[in-house]
Amino acid sequence: SQTIHQWPATLVQPVGSPLSLECTVEGTSNPNLYWYRQAAGRGLQLLFYSVGIGQISSEVPQNLSASRPQDRQFILSSKKLLLSDSGFYLCAWSVLAGTDTQYFGPGTRLTVL
């Protein structure tokens, strides 16, 4: 069966520090991968998606970047965190793009102080 992992589960970082969140998927090949951010009490905002290694699409201009160095690894990064980067970050995968069910990881709670 397929599983998706995210780490760390929680993170507290000072403003201006770098960020690296990792997501890995097991049990499937060539998944579509997604990064979302969820503000408190709100819906999800799609940040990035990837249909293959090295292929990243950005949905909104921001202080973050994403990379996919391996087929089942998706990394969310920042060189300098802002207060507004605080939130709940969720990684997800799907088999197909555009119509398919997405499967979510447990999320990372990021607090920027």
Partner 1 sequence: SQQGEEDPQALSIQEGENATMNCSYKTSINNLQWYRQNSGRGLVHLILIRSNEREKHSGRLRVTLDTSKKSSSLLITASRAADTASYFCATYTGGGNKLTFGTGTQLKVEL
Binding residues vs partner 1 (CB under 8 A): 32, 34, 41-44, 46, 49, 51, 57, 59, 88, 90, 92, 97-99, 101-107, 109
Residue 12 or residue 15: which is nearer to partner 1 going by CB?
12
Query: In sequence order, what are the beta bridge partners of 7?
Result: 22
Q: Among 1, 7, 6, 10, which Cα is nearest to 109's?
A: 10
CB of 104 to partner 1, least distance (A): 4
CB of 35 to partner 1, least distance (A): 12
Position 99, amino acid: T
Residue 28 or residue 88: which is nearer to partner 1 going by CB?
88
Q: Among 34, 27, 29, which Cα is nearest to 50's?
A: 34
Q: Which two tokens stand for residue 109?
A: 């709670």
CB of 61 to partner 1, least distance (A): 15
Rounded distance, CA 67 to CA 6, Å?
A: 15
Residue 41 or residue 61: which is nearer to partner 1 going by CB?
41
